[in-house]
Amino acid sequence: DVKVTQSSRYLVKRTGEKVFLECVQDMDHENMFWYRQDPGLGLRLIYFSYDVKMKEKGDIPEGYSVSREKKERFSLILESASTNQTSMYLCASSLGTGGVEEKLFFGSGTQLSVL
């Protein structure tokens, strides 16, 4: 089974702090994604990556950056955390062949609270 591991289940940070969310997948997937989930808004794509050192902006990239130095690891960075970034953050990966059998495999999520 594919395993996507997010380093923290719960995080509490102060406004203005730099925050790192780490994600590791163990199935040699090409694609990795960061989503945030908010009530009534569903899952919104922040950033995604098709390859090492490649990154693409999703629908809501403002206030975030990402890093993918190794294929299995995709990090989300909040440069200066703000209270409106309090959310559930979900990392996902997919095989990357682009066919109709593609699916996303999600980690357990990180509930981030910014005070």
Kindly list the residues in this chain that would bind another protein in the complex (CB under 8 A): 4, 9, 31, 33, 35, 40-45, 48, 50, 90, 92, 94, 96-109, 111
CB 46, CB 63: distance < 8 Å? no
CB of residue 41 to another protein, shortest distance in Å: 6
Q: What are phi and psi of 81, to 5 degrees?
A: -60, 140
CB of residue 97 to another protein, shortest distance in Å: 7
Tell me whether residue 63 or residue 105 sits nearer to another protein (CB atom): 105
CB of residue 16 to another protein, shortest distance in Å: 27
Q: Which DSSP letter does residue 98 get? A: -
Tell me whether residue 9 or residue 18 sits nearer to another protein (CB atom): 9
Tell me whether residue 80 or residue 97 sits nearer to another protein (CB atom): 97
Tell me whether residue 85 or residue 94 sits nearer to another protein (CB atom): 94
Residue type, 58: G
CB 44, CB 58: distance < 8 Å? yes
CB of residue 30 to another protein, shortest distance in Å: 9
Q: Which residues contact 19 (CB under 8 A, 6 or more apart)?
A: 11, 13, 77, 78, 81, 112, 114
Residue type, 30: E
